[in-house]
Structure 1
């Protein structure tokens, strides 16, 4: 369940990071209110994930989802520049996030086998 919390929090982070841009420095009230609400919701899910996952892994995955997703939103909807290098580094970031998640699962599997004498 911890990974579900991290993923939901990371996806909502994309929304609040985009909202920060759209709020124009919190000068647009509606965008600012929505952004503030998304920040609270995102951190709620993230904080719940840390009860179940190692903090380093949870935070790296949370911010990785947010960073990659926000970059994709910027390129797709906010007319930010697109380049092969940018897409390549976003892909590399996502591979790193997946690797962190997989390495956490390996440690859990290893701990389980160590707990059961055999």
Structure 2
């Protein structure tokens, strides 16, 4: 169950990271509230995942999911650069996530 919590935590991390862009420095109330709620859910799910998963593995995967998702949405929503080098670096992060999952029992 810890892996499901961790995946959800990572997805909500993407939500709050992208949400920060829409808050315009916390000056827009609705995006700000949604961003803060996403932060709370993300940390809550990470806390639940840490009941059964090692801290280093869970934290690295949580931030990795957040990084990959945020980069992808930055490209899609905000027209950020999608250069081969940038995508290769994201691929390295993905490889690290897969490696940590394979190296962690349970």
Q: Which range, TM-score by smaller chain? A: over 0.9
Partner secondary structure for residue 81 of structure 1: coil
- How far residue 5 of structure 1 moved from its aligned partner, in angstroms, is 0.5
Structure 2 gaps of 5+ residues are none
TM-score of the superposition, structure 1-length normalised?
A: 0.87
Is residue 2:98 matched to residue 1:98?
Answer: yes
Long gaps (5+) in structure 1: 109-118
Match of 1:3 in 2: 3
Q: Taking structure 2 as the reference length, what is the TM-score of the superposition?
A: 0.97
Please state if 1:39 is matched with 2:39: yes
Q: Deviations along 1:63-96, whole A, 9 cap, x unmatched?
A: 0000111000001111111100111110110110
| Alpha-carbon distance, 1:13 to partner | 0.6
C-alpha displacement of 1:35: 0.1
Secondary structure in 1 matching 2:86 = helix
C-alpha displacement of 1:52? 0.5
Say which SS state the counterpart of residue 104 (structure 2) adopts. helix
Structure 1 segments of 4+ aligned residues over 4 angstroms from their partners: none
Q: Equivalent residue for 1:19?
A: 19
* The structure with more radius of gyration: 1
What is the CA–CA distance in structure 2 between the aligned matches of 1:101 and 1:82, rounded to whole Å? 26
Cα deviation, residue 17, structure 1: 0.3
CA root-mean-square deviation: 0.8
